[in-house]
Amino acid sequence: MNDSSSSDLSLARSDGRALWMSTFAFTVCFAVWTIFSIIGVKIKQELGLSETEFGLLIGTPILTGSLSRIFLGIWTDRFGGRLVFTVAMLMTSFATVLLAFAETYPQMIAAALGVGLAGGSFAVGVAYVSRFYPSRRQGTALGIFGVGNVGAAVTKFAAPFVLLAWGWQAVALIWAAVLAVMAVAFYVTTVDDPVTIERRKTGAAAAPFMLELSTLRDKRVWRFALYYFFVFGAFVALALWLPRYLIGVYGFDIATAGMIGALYSIPASIFRAYGGMLSDRIGARTVMYWSLGVSVLATLILSLPPTSYVMRGINGDISSHFEIGVGAFIVVTFVLGFFMSLGKAAVFKHIATYYPQSVGAVGGLVGMIGGLGGFILPIAFGALNDLTGLWSSCFMLLFLIVAGSLAWMDVTIRRLNRNGQPLSPRAVVAAE
Contacts for 191-195: CB closer than 8 Å, 24+ residues apart = 191/14, 191/17, 191/18, 191/82, 192/80, 192/82, 192/83, 193/18, 193/80, 193/81, 193/82, 193/128, 193/131, 193/132, 194/11, 194/131, 194/132, 195/131
pLDDT tens digits, 266-309: 776 778 778 878 888 888 889 999 999 999 999 999 998 888 77
| Residue 99 near residue 108 (C-beta atoms within 8 A) | yes
Residue 170 or 379, more confident: 170
Residue 426 pLDDT level (bands cut at 50, 70, 90): very low
Predicted local distance difference test score (pLDDT) of residue 123: 82
Residue closest to 337 by CA, chosen among 157, 160, 152 = 152
Residue 61 CB coordination number (10 Å) = 34
Contacts for 410-418: CB closer than 8 Å, 24+ residues apart = 412/223, 413/285
Domains (range + CATH), the chain: 9-197+209-418 (1.20.1250.20)
Residue closest to 257 by CA, chosen among 370, 340, 155, 350 = 155
- What H or E segment, with its residue span, contains residue 207? none
Residue 217 CB coordination number (10 Å) = 8
| Residue 59 near residue 379 (C-beta atoms within 8 A) | yes
The lowest-confidence range among 56-65, 207-216, 398-407 is 207-216
Amino acid of residue 340: M
Q: What is the mean pLDDT of the chain?
A: 82
Residue 162, classed as helix, strand or coil, is helix
pLDDT at 6 over 50: no
Residue 216 pLDDT level (bands cut at 50, 70, 90): low
Predicted local distance difference test score (pLDDT) of residue 268: 67
CA distance 44 to 47: 5
pLDDT tens digits, 83-102: 999 999 999 999 999 999 99
CA distance 369 to 233: 8
Residue 131, classed as helix, strand or coil, is coil
| Residue 318 near residue 311 (C-beta atoms within 8 A) | yes
